[in-house]
Chains A and B, each alone.
Chain A
Amino acid sequence: MSKRGLGLFVSAIMLTMLALTGCGGGAKAPEESKAVESSAEQKSEEAKTEESKQAKEKIVVGYAQVGAESDWRTANTESFKSTFVPENGYELIFNDAQQKQENQIKAIRDFIQQEVDYIVLAPVVETGWDTVLQEAKDAGIPVILSDRMIKTSDDSLYTALVCGDFIKEGETAGHWLEDYIKLKGKNHDEKINIVTLQGTIGASAQVGRTDGFANILAKNSNWNMLAKQTGEFTQSKGQEVMESFLKQFDDIDVVVAENDNMAFGAIDAIKAAGKTCGPEGEITVISYDAVKAAFDAMIAGDLNASIECSPLHGPRVAEIIQKLEKGETVEKIQYVDESYFDTSMDLEKIKSERAY
């Protein structure tokens, strides 16, 4: 009995497998039958060459994405998926690495075997790319980096980098504050006391934004930077640091938070201390990134302005690819266009139109 049971089971498996292979083979069957029919042979061959021509015309792009850890990242993915569509002459092969470098390395190796025309890489980490990028180079496939830089001894391993200009973002924040103070009609000599909630020290966003803002600070003699401390890009740490700032100083005019989340924490701390913030309040709050929640905070009147960190890298990468296709040289580092948003704008409308 048991023997028969086993036999039955085995045959069931075999059947499943047959079915599986049958499914797989189904795709090829028409092709094969065409090849067998002598009369149709020529036709099918013609069709084939035509097909391959079409395939050749399309530019195949492999995108090794970090993952889907934030709204920013998802918007970045969408930007690529909507840019590299067949209508624009592209075929996009997308790979989500789930935040693992080893997955990205695997994906790049697969892209090389698929003979993609271009590889776009948003590196999870900065190092460890030399080996696999050398493989891409050996196969003659240009690599374009998106969002983050890599550390490598050989610059020729990548063709271009598309990223946000963090220094410019910092300067934009400074310029916005200059204009805002003018608009408020404050006396030019009046002291403006500023505190900064920095990002994770050493992160490129932190360094760029701090430096950019400092450039504008240096031009305004009446601006006084009371303190700078890291809030590590998190809401809870931002709140904590802001609480200690409020205890230390009783005349803070402006808070610069190097991302939206820390600004939300700071707003909570300000409210808890019995002070007010936003366009109608005592303390002006500026942040970076401009995620959806930042729009909500501006609409609620808690946040004054948020400087955009655009995830829409797709069009810029497409531009680079078009240039490379024509044989032109491209600049090694290219920045995406970024702007800012403040409470003087029609935020509801912008928010509904934005991708992230």
Chain B
Amino acid sequence: MRNKIKNIDNKAFLLYMTIVLFIIMYSIGIIMFGNKGFQKPQVFLNLFISNAGLIVIATGMTMVIISGGIDISVGSFVALTCMVLAWMMEKGNMNAVSSIIVIMLMGLVFGLVQGILIAYLNIQPFIVTLAGMFFARGMTAIISQEMISIKNETFLAWANNKITIPLFGIVNKKGVTVYPYIYPTVIAALIILVIMFILLKYTKFGRSVYAVGGNEQSALLLGLNVKSIKLKVYILNGLLCSIGGFLFCLNTCAGFVEQAKGFEMEAIAGSVIGGTLLTGGVGNVFGSLFGVLIKGTIEAFVSFQGTLSSWWTKIIIATILAFFIVLQSILAMSKKEQK
């Protein structure tokens, strides 16, 4: 019993670490760049605006990693989603709503195929999704090598639908009062995050995902249908990827073969920094949110600093990632010793 409490503490500890790290980093930003406007509420909101798609993708990635798998096809799939959306609306003259339904179906099918290969044919998730990654990027280029820009009025209206918060208005030096604002993408991302949190934490399906990832053998002995759970995880992840791709597309309004390169790695990094164990069984989607926000904060740092090479973002992320992985393995070791 005591050990159990200790374990929970360890899991929560990783999450708290992430949140504390985020708060510390953000405070450092305010102290260092306060004179440049880092303390403005909009800087914080921009973290969500710029990363709305990534938050959804990272949420799906967290679920996949908790189940003991991995999905490296998400970046390419986001590019494919944007391209298909752009192609359907611009070349196929479809309306925005039906285009989105099509890409969501596409996400489900993509997840279904990957899920069957992984769950029922027992192929390594890394290999299956590697193939998925090449396939999606290739298909994107097949549809069009040229960039397709979206001019669909409904879609652009969604993209430009700035939601102004009539509080904390700041008069800038041009004498214009600027109110904080967000886009609908932010609200959508946060709603999905909450749904996924509830799904993973409070439903039978969610608990089964943790069980399968924690120890597949015991999950089997418990009478769980491991294969079907894994399949569902990949199908759901496919759906989340298509939604994430749609949110990403609202930010760029175009389909292009080079889009979202390395997105999968950012999602994995976000999950790991957020306390998800790569071995499976442990993780929390809110941790991943903070993982993504930490990445965004570092980008804002580099951008506010103004002279640093933007590649420093990657180096700092690498350092934090290494730190969290070491932390995880130390926690895992201490857990074993206790047993």
Binding site for B on A (CB under 8 A): 1-3, 5-6, 9, 13, 17, 20-21, 24-25, 27-28, 55-56, 62, 91-103, 105-107, 109-115, 117, 125-128, 130-131, 134-135, 138-141, 151, 153, 202
- Size of B's binding interface in residues, CB under 8 A: 63
**Contacts A20-B24, A21-B24, A130-B156; A151 near B149 (Cβ below 8 A):** yes
**Cβ–Cβ contact A100 & B49, under 8 A:** no
Whether A138 lies near B304 (C-beta < 8 A) is no
CA A111 – CA B252 in complex, angstroms?
18
Given A110-B303, A130-B156, does the pair A56, B173 have CB atoms closer than 8 Å?
A: yes
Is B4 part of the contact surface with A, judged by Cβ < 8 Å?
A: no
Complex CA distance for A47 and B160, rounded to whole angstroms = 43
Contact between B32 and A128 (Cβ–Cβ < 8 Å)? no
Of the candidates A98, A102, A113, the one whose C-beta lies within 8 Å of that of B42 is A113
Assembly CA distance A99 to B36 (angstroms): 26
Contacting B310 at CB < 8 Å: which of A2, A97, A153?
A97
Partner-contacting stretch, out of B104-112, B229-237, B256-264: B256-264
Would you call A102 and B253 a contact (CB within 8 A)? no
Known pairs A113-B40, A125-B147 / 20 extra A-B pairs, C-beta < 8 Å: A24-B32, A62-B306, A91-B306, A95-B303, A96-B311, A102-B252, A107-B303, A112-B42, A113-B46, A115-B172, A126-B147, A127-B147, A128-B252, A130-B160, A130-B253, A131-B159, A140-B174, A140-B176, A141-B174, A151-B149
A10 vs chain B, min Cβ distance (A): 8
B94 shortest CB reach to chain A, Å: 19
Contact A100 B156 (CB under 8 A): no
Q: How far is the CB of A146 from chain B (nearest CB, A)?
A: 17
If the complex has contacts A96-B310, A105-B251, A127-B149, are A114 and B172 also in contact, measured as CB distance less than 8 A?
A: no
**Do B337 and A2 have beta carbons less than 8 Å apart?**
yes
Complex: how many Å from CA A346 to CA B183?
A: 57
| Complex-state Cα separation, A75 to B62, whole angstroms | 42
- Measured between beta carbons, the chain B residues less than 8 angstroms from A100 are 258, 261
A99 touches B43 (CB 8 A): no
Do residues A28 and B31 form an inter-chain contact, with CB atoms below 8 A? yes
**Min CB gap B67→A, angstroms:** 28
- Closest B residue to A51 by beta carbon equals B35
Q: With A and B bound together, what is the CA distance between A18 and B148 in angstroms?
A: 49
B309 interface residue per 8 A CB criterion: yes
Question: Contact: A128 with B253, CB < 8 Å?
Answer: yes
Check: B254 CB closer than 8 A to any chain A CB: yes
Expressed in whole angstroms, the minimum distance between the Cβ of B255 and any Cβ of chain A is 10
From the candidates B36, B160, B337, name the one contacting A114 in the complex (CB within 8 A): B36
Whether B307 sits at the interface, judged by CB under 8 Å, is yes
Find B24's partner among A17, A98, A111, A202 (CB 8 Å cutoff). Answer: A17
B303 near A20 with CB under 8 A, answer no
**In contact, A106 and B24 (Cβ under 8 angstroms):** no
